[in-house]
Structure 1
Amino acid sequence: MLDLSNYSLPAIFLAGFVAILAAVEFGRWLGARIGDRGDDNVPTLEGAMIGLLALMFGFTFALALTRFDARRTAVLAEANAISTTALRARLLPEPHRKEVLELLQEYVKIRVDVTQRALTPAEWAAEIDKSNALQEKLWQQAMAMAASDTGMVPTGLFILALNETIDNQARRLIAQRSRIPNIVQLTLFGIAVVASGFAGYATGVKVRRSRIPVYVMGLLVSCVIIVILDLDRPGAGFIEASQQPIIDAATSIAAIPD
C-alpha cells in the first residue's frame, strides 16, 4: 500500500492537486457526453460527495490537532520534569551533585538537538539510545546515593524527579510517533478526487457553468489536506509545536553554578 509518510509535503500537494484537476476534467468530459440525461441526480450526488468530504475533513483535522496538542503538552511536561530533577540535584552531596548536573546538561542538550532538525529513523534511534544511556548513568548515581544513606530526604526527592523525567521521555516518544493512520489519509484523498469528479461532471452537464469555481475548490481542498498532513508530521513540516520549554530548561540548567 502507498505510504504517504515516505513522500514530502510539496510532492504530495502537487500530486494531489494534479489528481483532483484530472478528476475534474474527466468528470466534465463525461458530463458533456451524457448531457442532460443524468441532470436530475447531479445536484444530489454532488452535494452528497461534498458533504462526505467535509465530514472527512472534520474527522482527520480533529485527529491531527489532537496529536499536535499532545506533542506540545509532552514537551512542556518533559521540560518541567527535567528542570525539577536539576533543582533537586542541587541538594545532593558532592561529588554526586556535580556529576548528576553534568549528566543532566548532556541529557537536555540531546533533547534539544532532536527538535532542531528532521531526523532519519536511524538518527532518531541513535539519539534515543544516547538518552537511555544517560538515564542509566543518572539512575546509577541515584542507586549509589540510596545505598550509602537510605534515610536522606534529598536523595528520595531526586529519585522521584528522575523517575518522572524518565516517564516523560516515554510519553513524549509516544506523542511523537502517534500519527493519523495511512489508510485514513488515503481515504481522504480518494474522497477528494471522487468529489472533484462529481463537481466536474456537473459543469459538463451544464455547459454554461465555468471551470474556475471547480478549480478554486480543488486548490482549496488540496491546501486543507496539506495543512492536516503538516499538523501530523512533527519535525518535517511547516507547523511545529513550540520547543521553547525544553530550550528554556537547557538554558537554566547550564546556568546552574558549579
Structure 2
Amino acid sequence: MNFLLFAVAIAALFFVGSLILLRLGQRLGFRYRTRSDTEGTGGLATVEGAIFGLMGLLLAFTISGALQRFDDRRQLVIQEATAATTAYDRLSLFGGDDALKLQTGLKDYVRARIDLYRLAHDFLLLQRAEDFSDQQEKKVLELKNQLWDAAVAACPQPNYRPACALSLPALNSLFEVARLRAGAAEKHPPQIIYFMLFGLGLGCSLLAGFGMAASAGHSWIHMLLFAGTLTVALYIVTDMEYPRLGLIRIESFDHFLADAYDQMR
C-alpha cells in the first residue's frame, strides 16, 4: 500500500468530517438556544474546556514523542556509520590477506545496508510497518554471517588474538546498531492513540460548532481554519512516524553511512 496516498486520504476524510461536525454543532447550538431561550452557552464552558484541554495535551505529547522517535532514527544512522568506520579500522589489525579479506567483506555488508534503505519499499497497513525488500534483507544477513564467521575463524591464530579482542566487539556493535535501526522502524505509539486523536478531533469540531452558535451567523473562514489546523497537526504526527514513506523524511542523513563506505580504502 502507498503510505502517502493512505495518509492523505485519511487527512482529507478527517477534514471533511470536521467541517460537517462544525456545521452540525452549530445547528445543534442554535436549537439549544431556541429551546432554552438563552443568549449564550456559558454554562457548558467547563465541559468544553476540559475536552479541548485533553485534546491539546494528547496532541502535544504525541507530537513530542514523534519528534523524539524521528530524532532517534537519525542518530542511529550516524551511530551505524561510526560503528562501520571503527570496525573497518580495527579489521586492519589482522594484517596481510586476512585483513584485506575481512575489510572487503565489511564493505560488501555496508554496501548492502545502504542499498536496503535506498530500495523502494512499501507500507503494511495491518502491521503498521515498512516492508523492505526480502531479497535484500536476506543478502544483508548472508553477508553479515560470512563476515562474522570469517573473523571468528581467524581468531584461533595466536598472532591474531589481540586483533580479535578489538575487532569482534566492533563488529558486534555494528550489527547491534543495525538491529536497533530495524526496531526503531517499527516503534510507534499504540494504535488506540491515533483513534483517540481522530475521535477527539471530531468531538472538538462538534463542540466548536456548538460554541459558534452564540454568534449571529457562521464564519466559513473560522471553520476552515479550525478544521485545517487540526488536520495538518494530525497528519504531521502520522507522517513523522514513517520518515521513509511520507513527506517528512530522513534520507538526508543516509549520506553519513554512504560517506563511511566511500572512505573505506
Instruction: Pick the TM interval, shorter chain.
Output: 0.7 to 0.9
> 19, 22, 33: which is aligned to 1:35?
33
Equivalent runs, 1:5-154 vs 2, <5 Å: 8-35=6-33, 37=36, 39-120=41-122, 123-149=132-158, 152-154=161-163
Cα separation, 2, equivalents of 1:140 and 1:193? 56
Matched residue of 2:181: which SS? helix
Matched residue of 2:20: which SS? helix
> 176, 180, 183: which is aligned to 2:189?
180
User: 1:64-88, CA deviations, whole angstroms, 9 ceiling, x for partnerless residues?
Assistant: 1121121111111111111111112
> 248, 257, 263: which is aligned to 1:239?
248
State whether structure 2 residue 224 is matched by structure 1 residue 215. yes
TM-score by length of 2: 0.85
Cα separation, 2, equivalents of 1:107 and 1:160? 17
Matched residue of 2:10: which SS? helix
Cα separation, 1, equivalents of 2:159 and 2:248? 48
Please say which of residues 163-172 and 192-201 is displaced more in the overlay.
163-172
User: 1:14-48, CA deviations, whole angstroms, 9 ceiling, x for partnerless residues?
Assistant: 11111211211211122222225372334333333
| Structure 2 residue identity aligned to 1:8 | F
| Structure 2 residue identity aligned to 1:239 | I
Which sections of structure 2, spanning at least 5 residues, go unmatched? 123-129
Whether contact under 8 Å (2:4, 2:247) holds in the other structure is no
Please say which of residues 243-252 and 182-191 is displaced more in the overlay.
243-252
> 171, 182, 185: which is aligned to 2:180?
171
Task: Give the match for residue 125 of structure 2.
Answer: none
| Structure 2 residue identity aligned to 1:98 | L
Cα separation, 2, equivalents of 1:10 and 1:17? 10
Whether contact under 8 Å (1:21, 1:215) holds in the other structure is yes
| Structure 2 residue identity aligned to 1:12 | I
Deviation at 1:118, TM superposition (A): 4.5
| Structure 1 residue identity aligned to 2:108 | E
Matched residue of 2:94: which SS? coil
Matched residue of 1:90: which SS? helix
Whether contact under 8 Å (1:118, 1:235) holds in the other structure is no
Whether contact under 8 Å (1:24, 1:198) holds in the other structure is yes
- How many aligned residue pairs are there? 250
Task: Give the match for residue 263 of structure 2.
Answer: 252
CA RMSD across the alignment: 2.2
Please say which of residues 225-234 and 99-108 is displaced more in the overlay.
99-108
Matched residue of 1:10: which SS? helix
Cα separation, 2, equivalents of 1:190 and 1:108? 44
Whether contact under 8 Å (2:116, 2:132) holds in the other structure is no
Which sections of structure 1, spanning at least 5 residues, go unmatched? none
Whether contact under 8 Å (1:42, 1:202) holds in the other structure is no
Deviation at 1:138, TM superposition (A): 0.8
TM-score by length of 1: 0.88
